[in-house]
Structures are given as C-alpha cells and as structure tokens.
Amino acid sequence: MEKNWYVVHTYSGYENRVKQNLEKRVETMGMTDKIFRVVVPEREETEIKDGKKKTYMRKVFPGYVLVELIMTDDSWYVVRNTPGVTGFIGSSGGGAKPTPLLPDEVSRLLDQMGMTEDVGADIVVGDLVEVLEGPFAHFQGKVEAVNTEEELLTVIVDMFGRETNMELSFAQVTKV
C-alpha cells in the first residue's frame, strides 16, 4: 500500500480544530505509521487598512482539510470518526473508500501554500529524470548519485552524443 493525499470535509470554520483533533487521535491511537500529515489549505495575504499593513492567513478551501495517509480500514475509521469531520470527498458512500488526489494536484496545492513535497524520497540511482529548469530544461538523464542530506542529485545527460554530468537539486527534476 502507498500513501496518498485525501480531502476531508469538515464543518466550516472548524478546519484548524479538526487538524488538532486528528493529530491527537493519530498519536493516541498509534496510527503514526498510516496517517502522516494533516494540512489546512491556507495562503498568506496582506491587507492595508488605515495605513497599516496587516498579514493574515486565508483559507483557500474553507471547510476542507488535506490528509496524507495509507488507506486502510483503520486509518479510514480514525479520520472519519474525528470530531468535526463530515466525511471524505470522492467517496460514493455506503462504505466505499474515497479516491485520492492526483500527484500533480497535490504538488500544485502545496506549492501555492509555500510547502514543497519531498520530491527526492522516491528517486533512486538508475531512475530516469527530466530537468525542469535551467539551460538543460526538458533534457532527460539517468540518476548517477543521490545525496538526500543536501537534496542533490548527480544526473548524466546525453547531449549531442556526449554524456555530461550535472549536479541538480531535487526541485529541479521530475521523475519520468
């Protein structure tokens, strides 16, 4: 089983309380190996009122919380029965499990909130990656080495019939 992101519907205005309740339940029920992150989709906004600058967090999707988990009967039960949760989005009801968010949807949402997905976690030596930015954008190469501490990859790119070693950050590549 793999971990995915799911959208949970809550009472409007109770998103942060649901996040706290769910995080407590995960700890007390020993579900840290199945339920990983709970995120309230928010973004920072600045408003000027009476000549003073005020910064506040605005909810992007009021009434919704994102949860990263491995979908099992236990994890589904814990989230569904958390106070303030009205259900999962993408479930047809009648005990049917919900469908997860697509990876590109999740990365777009997390980028908007200033959070980044741990891109390098699933990249290993021998994987084929595509360079996203810089002079080698859209080139594909093979991963030669992975440095998780510094979040760097050594990638071999074939350019004009000649192999070129490049050192790139996890954010500069995507797995093909």
Q: pLDDT tens for residues 144-153? A: 988 877 778 8
Other CB atoms within 10 Å distance of the CB of residue 154? 16
Length of the chain: 176
Distance CA 39, CA 67 (A): 6
**Residue 91: per-residue pLDDT:** 78
Q: pLDDT tens for residues 92-104? A: 777 788 989 888 8
Q: What is the dihedral of CA 121, 172, 57, 84, to 10 degrees?
A: -30
Q: Which amino acid is at 128?
A: L
Between strands 128-131 and 52-59, the pairing is unpaired
pTM attached to this predicted model = 0.63
Distance CA 87, CA 58 (A): 23
**Residue 135: per-residue pLDDT:** 80
**Contact by Cβ (8 Å): 166, 150:** no
Distance CA 110, CA 96 (A): 27
Q: What is the dihedral of CA 20, 84, 104, 110, to 10 degrees?
A: -30
Q: pLDDT tens for residues 48-94? A: 888 888 888 888 888 999 999 999 999 999 999 999 999 898 877 77
Domains and CATH numbers, the chain: 3-117 (3.30.70.940), 120-175 (2.30.30.30)
